[in-house]
Structure 1
Amino acid sequence: MNVNPENALGFGHFIAQADAVGKSLLVVLLLMSAISWYLIVMKGITAFVRKRRSEAFLNFFWNASSLEQVQNEIATHGVRDPFSHLTAHAMHAQAHHAKYGAAKLEEAGSAQDFLTRTMKKVLDEENTRLENGLTVLATVGATAPFVGLFGTVWGVYHALVAIGMSGAGTLDKVAGPVGEALIMTGLGLAVAIPAVMGYNWLTRSNRVLTAKLDSFAFDLFAFLSTGQALGGGGRQENVRPLKPAAKA
């Protein structure tokens, strides 16, 4: 059975007719798509697990009877979320300054100054960890359409040159090659749209978590400084305030 050449036009025919530049652009788009989907899936799973662990720790923290109980919980199960990470460093900083004082330049100032610097450092580390990989998604979302457009322009140029050399400039001869070249634009959009949506989703998720972490940091600092917990920061209603830990 003979296949009509007009019916053979399509993605496979476009790839077969593409030169090194067109195939290189296609490989670039496929790599960009694979990287963006990997980041979206992995960071999405990480965000889900982090949210569950954070909620569990906050529920335990605000229902604990003393900071010793919180310290034992962290020592037993380790630091598994941003809130326990912040709590562990804050309590360690308070105990360290109470025992050794300002022994080094980084520990200069009052206990509250040292505690503030320690907590700010942890918050910066958590923000950096949350933003890791988002720049790649933003770059893919911004550049993939233009990579596809460049592939289309390159394909159209070669298609028109081939048509001009053959001397057949009728619409049925032009539409097929030009339509095939437009496939690259579609591929560019197919790569960019998931990257942009994933970036927006992860950015919003990180912004919500950062706001909760900042609120919790304020409560934790106030409690460690005064020995009394304030409202907010994920604290459960109708729970007993924590008792301050005994100074080392």
Structure 2
Amino acid sequence: MNGVTAAPLAASHDLSMLGLFLQADWVVKLVMLGLLFASVFVWAIVFEKFTSLRRARREADALEDAFWSGGSLDELYRRQGEVPGHPMAAVFVSGMREWRRSMENPNAGQFVGGVEERVDRAMAVTIQREMERLEKRMTVLANTGSAAPFVGLFGTVWGIMNSFAAIAGMQNTSLAVVAPGIAEALFATAIGLVAAIPAVLMYNMISSQLAKFAARMEGFATEFGAILARQTEQAAGARRPAAPATAPAAPEAR
């Protein structure tokens, strides 16, 4: 009798992915929908990060080419404008702006170390701000990679609980009776892994590229700071008055 009733029950279940979703419990459906949304959001973030990093590297190449071409830094500063459009330009403009403001002080030559410190600090703050902007929503990748498998596991546990409840209600231990419910439950775990694995891989890849770009901006800031320091020292030397002439020493008494 069990074999006769089990066959129609098994045949009535659609074991395709859409069928498993439609026949799942409402809690499992919510888990699946949440994981699918997280997966789509992860890929949207990955596309945005790769696009922004590619654009930032291309614009950084153009700025460094112009910077090392031997042209006027003041002219480059005017071209970049007060509101730079990419991270490397923001670092350059912040350093140049602070240096120009400091050099407007007629006593700047007496405080060369203070000028250098302010310029370095301005560029360091700009690097931190620009990296925070580039790293925006990276926590979503990290959280999805760590939490999605457990969310899928919750859906699996809930579905298996329902399957065992169905066994108790129908008093039928045939595998054909519990297999559809277990398949629906395991499908939630599969979706969780589909969301988590790309999130972890892309998080590590993008984090590595962000670290390299941050190191590139820090290297540029160090070189630019050294150039401004030399110009500050030259300006201080030009402003320093000449030492007064001294009379020759008197001859020693014999």
Normalised to the residue count of structure 1, the TM-score between the two structures is 0.82
Aligned residue among 133, 141, 145 for 2:145: 141
Alignment match, 2:17: 11
| C-alpha displacement of 1:6 | 5.6
Q: How does 1:7-156 map to 2 (within 5 A)?
A: 8-75=14-81, 79-100=84-105, 110-156=114-160
Aligned-partner SS, 1:43: helix
Aligned length: 225
| C-alpha displacement of 1:183 | 0.4
Q: Which amino acid aligns with 2:25?
A: D
Q: Which whole-Å CA distance do the structure 1 matches of 2:225 and 2:208 have between them?
A: 26
Alignment match, 2:193: 189
- The one-character-per-residue Cα deviations of 1:114-167 (angstroms, maximum 9, x if unpaired) are 212211211111221122111111001110011001101101110121122112
| C-alpha displacement of 1:177 | 2.1
Aligned residue among 220, 223, 226 for 2:224: 220
- The one-character-per-residue Cα deviations of 1:83-118 (angstroms, maximum 9, x if unpaired) are 21111111110111111479xxxxxx8211221221
Alignment match, 2:161: 157
Q: Which amino acid aligns with 2:103?
A: A
Alignment match, 2:183: 179
| C-alpha displacement of 1:13 | 3.3
| C-alpha displacement of 1:56 | 1.1
Q: Which whole-Å CA distance do the structure 2 matches of 1:111 and 1:226 have between them?
A: 11
- The one-character-per-residue Cα deviations of 1:16-69 (angstroms, maximum 9, x if unpaired) are 333332122122112211221111111111111111111111111111322123
Higher mean C-alpha displacement, 88-97 vs 78-87: 78-87
Alignment match, 1:209: 213
Structure showing greater Rg: 2
| C-alpha displacement of 1:80 | 2.5
8 Å CA contact retained: 1:32, 1:191: yes
Aligned-partner SS, 1:126: helix
RMSD value over aligned CA atoms? Answer: 2.8
1:25/1:158 CA distance change after superposition, 3 Å: same
- Gaps spanning 5+ residues in structure 2: where? 1-7, 108-112, 239-254
> What percent of counterpart residues are identical?
30
Normalised to the residue count of structure 2, the TM-score between the two structures is 0.80
8 Å CA contact retained: 2:9, 2:176: no
Aligned-partner SS, 1:182: helix
